[in-house]
Structure 1
Amino acid sequence: MDIFNEIKNKLSHEFIDIIEWLDPTNDTIVHRFERYQNEIKNNAKLIVREGQTAVFINEGQLADVFKPGTYTLNTKNLPILTTLKGWKYGFDSPFKAEVYFVNTRLFTDEKWGTKNPFMLSDDRFGLVEIRAFGTYSFRISDAGKFVVDVVGTDANFTSYEINEHLKSLIVTRFTDTVGEANLPIELYAANTSELSETCQEVMQPEFGRVGIALERFYIENVSMPEELKKEIFEYSRLDKLDMVKLSQFKAAKAMEAAAKNEGGTAGAGMGMGMGFVLAQQMGNMMAPQGQNPVFGAQKTDAPAPPPMPAHTMYYYGLNGQQSGPVTFDRLKELFANRTINRETLVWKQGMQNWTALKDVDELKSFLGGNTPPPLPTA
């Protein structure tokens, strides 16, 4: 009796009529259908539900892939599975194959992020460190390739196992893409949508090599050190501000503060004096040309003197290196103390080429020999 029950239990495991899988989890990507010695009864029913794909592996090789539907499994619709073994008890001949159910639904809200900050070069702020994080969504687009190249013989392959690989891939490609974009540093946080789309296009071929489709890729935040944020804010404000209006505003605020001074007669007098000076400064900035800045009357002052003449600046060569600029008097001192000599090359604005000092007209006076001729005799 015990021997009969043992044979009955063995046969019940060996001959499975229905092959299906209901996913009780939210993170399983691939599940291997388990049965005794991998034997499937001829004419068994295969049920593949929506969001699933069934992959058959025979003797370690990909045999067939079934999309959603109900199938009757026999040697007519599975010609690749030719390894059949007869059953001495007269039942239909079973065949051996491993069946992997692949979850092809969309896996959403997967997290990614840079574990360490990475360096970017900016023309105004130099080398800066930034971090980034976000989410992505994927699905299995080629179940056979995914099972062969990634899953292998894993009986229960979860999203956690593939996510570690995908996160590393994402961070690497994200860093490369951001570096090649060469955007001003303040634009990374302001253009996350465009940058997300570009990164998705760059990463999609990498995902496709293992049978995965990157459906969505989002950059939620690009962060940087607080000190750098302050510099960027200050720079952007200065770039937009009208400096003349800012000066007028500050002068007006100073006048208002002076008017509120209640420190006695001396303080009041000082406040009035400061207010007058500030008013005059504001008038100078706001009054039309030719009018008195305070009272609006025509100016009666003498014409302003012409600007001071600019000093000519010279560059000179010393030990094969360019030096300067220096003034005429300083160049004369260098010649006098023999730091430079008559053959030293010099250049100033307006000269086409470097020229020896002895050949520059205004510098020939350094050379001596310019004594006046003797006075004529009577």
Structure 2
Amino acid sequence: MGFFKNQFANVVEWEEFRDDMIFWKWNNREIKKGSKLIIRAGQDAIFMNGGKVEGIFQEDGEYNIESEIIPFLSTLKGFKFGFNSGMRVEVLFVNTKEFTVKWGTQNPILIPTPQLPGGMPIRANGTFNFKVNDYVTLIDRIAGMKESYLVEDVKIRITSILDQLLMKWISREGKDMFNLQANASDIAKGIREDLDMEVMANGMTITGFQVMSFNYPQEIQDMITKTASHEMIGNLQKYQQVSITDAMASGKLQGGGAASDMAGMMMGMNMANEMMKNMNQGSNQGANSQSAAGGQSQPANNPSAPQGDGAKPNFCPNCGAKNEGANFCPNCGQKLG
């Protein structure tokens, strides 16, 4: 009795289901009358005969093989099932979900760049998504020879060519080596298209590819950060203010030393310069408004207002600093008009 119990099955189902399993084959066993087929959510069941697809069942549920499955299969390609001497069934269960896989470069990729003769060593990481979309091709290329197939198998295949694709699409069209994240979307799009062609031959498709980050060697990253922070150097005053503020915040200018005194003096001078510029702009705007109105401007009742023709010396008579038409010396505050 034990012999017959092992030879005949009452239930055909995915017995070794795992979330990371792409397909699993129920294979080379006989079933008897009253046997059932169980399909769970996210699964398709493919009945095969001689390695060829005879029927695909996609609705999850529990089916009586004799009354619900066999009649359907018998109408396809003249396929005949019978229980006179037992019936061998080969069923391929396929996971229909979209898989998400994390990837990362194991070693730095040397991207050719004029700035570094040996190439820019870059690491990258992200995710890609894929799913099965062609059962016939899947069976012909993989399932016909394997009993099961895991996500890890696909990941190994993808990562084996990923370094080459990263180099191809990073180098393409002169991408900025020091700001690759800005081009991450274009790079990922190109890689996805190439990877899709690669897995299409096995009955799968790449539904998404993302580059989360590009990572440079620490010394290169420090250089990029420093360069970005010094882009403001074109505005010397802003650069001085930020540099002094950073130095004071870091504690390098704390205490009553000469460096701290100099920093305070420079900040005070910068603030005074800004105040004088604002006053001059306000005065000029007022004069322009009166001229536009077509009236004769009257001397303001202000003892500090410039007298005479309003001409200002080019250099301060007190400290010699160059003057650009201001009422007061931006360096020492001497009245100039």
Q: Which amino acid aligns with 2:178?
A: E
C-alpha distance in 1, partners of 2:203/2:58? 15
- 1:175-216 CA-to-partner distances (Å, cap 9, x unmatched) read 322222531122213443454344324422322221222233
SS in 2 for 1:153: coil
C-alpha distance in 2, partners of 1:247/1:102? 62
How do 1:224-373 residues align onto structure 2 when only pairs under 5 Å count?
Answer: 224-242=216-234, 244-245=236-237, 291-292=314-315, 295=318
SS in 2 for 1:292: coil
Q: Which amino acid aligns with 1:292?
A: F
1:220 aligns to 2:212 (yes or no): yes
Q: Which amino acid aligns with 1:216?
A: G
Equivalent residues, number: 264
C-alpha distance in 1, partners of 2:35/2:23? 21
Which of structures 1 and 2 has the bigger CA Rg? 1
Match of 2:45 among 54, 75, 78: 54
Go from structure 1 to structure 2 and tell me whether the alpha carbon gap of 1:245 and 1:48 turns closer, same or farther (over 3 Å shift): same
C-alpha distance in 2, partners of 1:298/1:171? 60
In the alignment, is the contact (CA less than 8 A) between 2:28 and 2:88 conserved in 1? no
In the alignment, is the contact (CA less than 8 A) between 1:186 and 1:232 conserved in 2? yes
1:72 aligns to 2:73 (yes or no): no
Aligned position for 1:25? 18
Identity %: 23
Compute the TM-score of the two structures, normalised by the length of structure 1.
Answer: 0.56
SS in 1 for 2:181: coil
Post-superposition offset of 1:222: 0.8
Q: Which amino acid aligns with 1:27?
A: D
Which structure exhibits the higher relative contact order, with contacts defined as CA atoms closer than 8 Å and separated by 6 or more residues? 2
In the alignment, is the contact (CA less than 8 A) between 1:45 and 1:73 conserved in 2? no
In the alignment, is the contact (CA less than 8 A) between 1:55 and 1:100 conserved in 2? yes
Q: Which amino acid aligns with 1:152?
A: G
Post-superposition offset of 1:219: 1.7
Aligned position for 1:376? none
Post-superposition offset of 1:27: 1.9
In the alignment, is the contact (CA less than 8 A) between 2:188 and 2:210 conserved in 1? yes
In the alignment, is the contact (CA less than 8 A) between 1:113 and 1:171 conserved in 2? no
- 1:308-360 CA-to-partner distances (Å, cap 9, x unmatched) read xxxxxxxxxxxxxxxxxxxxxxxxxxxxxxxxxxxxxxxxxxxxxxxxxxxxx
C-alpha distance in 1, partners of 2:233/2:24? 63
Go from structure 1 to structure 2 and tell me whether the alpha carbon gap of 1:80 and 1:244 turns closer, same or farther (over 3 Å shift): same
In the alignment, is the contact (CA less than 8 A) between 1:189 and 1:221 conserved in 2? yes
- 1:218-271 CA-to-partner distances (Å, cap 9, x unmatched) read 222211111111222233334442154368669999xxx9xx667xxxxxxxx9
SS in 1 for 2:74: coil
The Cα RMSD (Å) is: 4.3
Q: Tell me, which stretches of 5 or more residues in structure 1 are unaligned?
A: 263-270, 300-378
Compute the TM-score of the two structures, normalised by the length of structure 2.
Answer: 0.62
Aligned position for 1:119? 110
SS in 1 for 2:22: strand
